[in-house]
Structure 1
Amino acid sequence: MKHVLIAGDDTSIHSAAMQAFQGRYHVTSLPVDMELTLDLIQDQIDMVLYTVTDVSSDCSKVYQVIEEQSRRKRIPFIFLVRESSSELEHEALRRGVGDIIPMHTTTELLIHRVNACLELYSLRNDRSYVEKYLDAVSISFAELVECRDMMTGGHLKNTTHYFKLLLEEALQGDYYKEVIQMEDRNDLLRSAALHDIGKIGITDDILRKATSLNDNEYEYMKQHTTLGKLAFEKIIRETGGARWLYLAKDIAYCHHERWDGSGYPNGLKGNEIPIYARIMAIADVYDAITSRRSYKDAYSHQEAKAIILEGKGSLFDPDLVDIFEAAQERFEEVLSKKQDSDTIEGDFLCHIQHYTESFDPTISMM
């Protein structure tokens, strides 16, 4: 039996909810004068039903609890309100509330919506076989790109880490909470890891060139964004398209677009560029600058920071650059850990390259 915690500021709604849930759920009622805290939401709690008298109710502490518990196993918060308003609904949904149900709702409809919310969150928290399968496929394709493009060893792992860091920081502010969908966050890392999937279609003489590309080679290399888009479009056509595939397509296609329109493949400007591609643009450039290549040494964090700040409002979303600057110590910490492991990873990549170059295909046919 599901365990529901009822909290909030309206005694009569408490009583009505307790009566409606009788025999259907195990219910714990929190006294009205007792503040809801993260400590009260133990692992055995499956849902919090929070009663709200009106829009003037101070829900800021509840929102803080929602944000804190979302970092571990997420459980649904449902607001049961005496009187609703567009203002309350907009703010509550933006801050992660699972549903808002008017008190005058019939018992049957209340139970139906509570059950639907519980089922939805259960599915989101449960890494089903399908989810594990999708993650395995995503990782395999990302590693396939990594094996082909050994000149940039570790790039996909690094950029995914920087992408996650910048995304987390962006979600701390108010503006991007309006733009970034809460339900997208779990899909984004799977999508971000595949931003260079189109490089599979680039020939080895360009992909593994040990010196800088000339103009013609650079124009050819640019095609990896379009190739990535086409790959995801084909998968979407064949499967009907999960949300994460659309996210992955946008990131793969647009992560080289620039804020002032100077990027490729379409010269998109400003907010025309999908938000997740704008985040990836900074993560991608930061890793490229701070990584050693056969034709250049690795730049320091301070040098990379200066280059990204210089690109504020021209190459990069200015608001995201401000977020990057505020979080730059976290970037430096990740970079430091990466540099400590570079020698080991370099030796590993060289071993794989030697193996693939010396592989005799006739052996597998015997």
Structure 2
Amino acid sequence: MPTEQRHYRLPTLLVVDDTADNLMLMTELLKDRYRVKVANSGEKAIRLLQGDPLPDLILLDVMMPGLSGHQVAEQLKREPRTRDIPIIFLTAMAGTEDEIHGLELGAVDYITKPIRPALVLARVETQLKLKAAADFLRDHNEYLEQEVQRRTREVMAIQDVTIHAMASLAETRDNETGNHIRRTQHYVKVLAEQLREHPRFRHFLSDETIELLFKSAPLHDIGKIGIPDSVLLKPGRLTEDEFAIMKTHTTLGRNAIQHAEDQLGMPVGFLSLAKEIAYSHQEKWDGSGYPQGLAAEAIPISARLMAVADVYDALISRRVYKAGMPHEQAVEIIRQGRGTHFDPDICDAFVACTEQFQAIAECFADSHQD
């Protein structure tokens, strides 16, 4: 193997000492086993360490004019780029307190002069092996972390695709809804962020929960897949019997999501919220909603948020049986439903961010509403 190639593969040591004889001695001792670089001052060592490649280990004198070895070590340990390079102090300062101080600065070993060559070689070899093991573990951990992040992104992407695919099934049954599921998804997130610090909701609305709500919201009407076309697509007012059939979409949706969760064999956060939303978003604060007639705090928070988002969008959206309502009129109707249809505090949050609702409606407008 050519000498240059052999040296390229050898560990690199940086020897820092202000005495030329010491640098020559250490070079002669180490050159057959390692690639050796030298610096005759702390300042030069710092400059060398700003380039690449970095040495695998530093043998560092303490008493030098200008920057001392202690000062060099302190600088290197402050910098993320150099803090993991092992430092062995090589010095005539042989006191116990001196050795303790050197180790406290982050040195991995402390060798006193005059040196014993066999001891220096043994300690350098030991520290290089320890560094190789630490580098392997660090690289392995970084790889594992990157792999976890990659797989997490894949899982999140699969969740998103699955949710939108399921939601789109309901949308194909009722194509008049257009971008309804997208708008309501963003409305819910806006409301949740508005209420994040509210005393009644802060225990529930963590960053993670808000993200899960955003994922879950598109499934709120998934149960409409099970509603007959004669009811779902009727252009006029529903009869009492037809409305009774329409109301079953909440139970159908909850059951469909529960079935999906059962197939997985484990609870899934966003599906749990999706079940709540699908089943309870038609409940009303005063207990007059469906399917269970829940009232006030008995209604899940997720469903209370969706109730406001769903009604607002239904009011402003054009359907075959009605024209879309102006934003201001829809806001007033929701305001009037405070404490009867809607949770009072969620209603207040809606009033505080109506401009954001309007912007979302315009951003995701259906083609016939552009």
Q: Which residue of 2 aligns with 1:197?
A: 222
> Helix, strand or coil: the match of 1:179?
coil
Matches within 5 A, 1:248-327: 248-327=274-353
Bigger shift: residues 229-238 or 285-294: 229-238
User: Which blocks of at least 5 consecutive residues in structure 1 are unaligned?
Assistant: 1-21, 29-115, 346-366
Offset at 1:121? 12
| 1:342 to partner: Cα distance | 2.8
AA partner of residue 358 (structure 2) = E
Cα displacement string for residues 212-254 of structure 1 (whole angstroms, at most 9, x for unaligned residues): 2111111100000000111111122221121111111000000
Q: Displacement of 1:338 after TM fit?
A: 4.2
C-alpha displacement at 1:120, in angstroms?
Answer: 9.6
2:212 to 176, 182, 187: 187
Find out whether 1:163 has 2:188 as its counterpart. yes
Amino acid of the structure 2 residue aligned with 1:157: R
Gaps of 5+ in 2: 1-76, 84-140
Counterpart residue identity of residue 214, structure 1? T
1:132-173 deviations in Å (ceiling 9; x for gaps): 112111111111111111132221112112112211211154
Aligned equivalent of 2:246: 221
Superimposed CA distance per residue, residues 74-120 of structure 1 (whole angstroms, 9 cap, x where no aligned partner)? xxxxxxxxxxxxxxxxxxxxxxxxxxxxxxxxxxxxxxxxxx9xx99
Task: Quote the offset at 1:182 in angstroms.
Answer: 3.3
Which residue of structure 2 lines up, in the alignment, with residue 144 of structure 1?
Answer: 169
Contact 2:188–2:213 (CA<8 Å) still a contact in 1? Answer: no
- 2:267 aligned to 241, 246, 256, which one? 241
CA distance in 2, matches of 1:27, 1:161: 45
Aligned to 2:25: none
Distance apart, 1:125 and its partner CA: 9.2
- Aligned mates of 1:211, 1:333 — CA distance in 2: 30
| 1:231 match | 256
CA contact (8 A) 2:221 2:253 kept: yes
Normalised to the residue count of structure 1, the TM-score between the two structures is 0.59
Letter in 1 for 2:344: P
Structure 2 residue aligned with 1:130: 155
With over 3 angstroms needed to count, the CA separation of the structure-2 counterparts of 1:322 and 1:121, relative to structure 1, is: farther
| Cα deviation, residue 206, structure 1 | 1.1
Q: How does 1:8-27 map to 2 (within 5 A)?
A: none
Offset of residue 270 of structure 1: 0.5
> Which residue pairs with 2:127 in the alignment?
none
Of residues 250-259 and 179-188 in structure 1, the stretch that sits farther from structure 2 once superposed is 179-188
Structure 2 CA distance for aligned equivalents of residues 292 and 135 of structure 1: 27
Closer, same or farther in 2 for the Cα pair 1:241/1:263, shift >3 Å?
A: same
Larger Rg: 2
After TM superposition, the structure 1 stretch with the greater mean CA deviation from structure 2, 312-321 or 143-152, is 143-152
Pairs aligned (count): 234
Distance verdict in 2 for CA 1:151–1:126, change over 3 Å = same
Q: Does 1:206 align with 2:231?
A: yes
My pick for the range that moved more, 322-331 or 264-273, is: 322-331
Q: Structure 1 residues 238, 305: CA separation in 2 closer, same or farther (over 3 Å shift)?
A: same
Q: Tell whether the 8 Å contact from 1:149 to 1:208 is kept in structure 2 after alignment.
A: yes
Root-mean-square deviation (CA, aligned residues, Å) is 2.8
1:340-359 to 2 correspondences below 5 Å:
342-343=367-368
- Alignment CA distance shift 1:196-1:123 (3 Å): farther
**Residue identity in the other structure for 2:213:** L
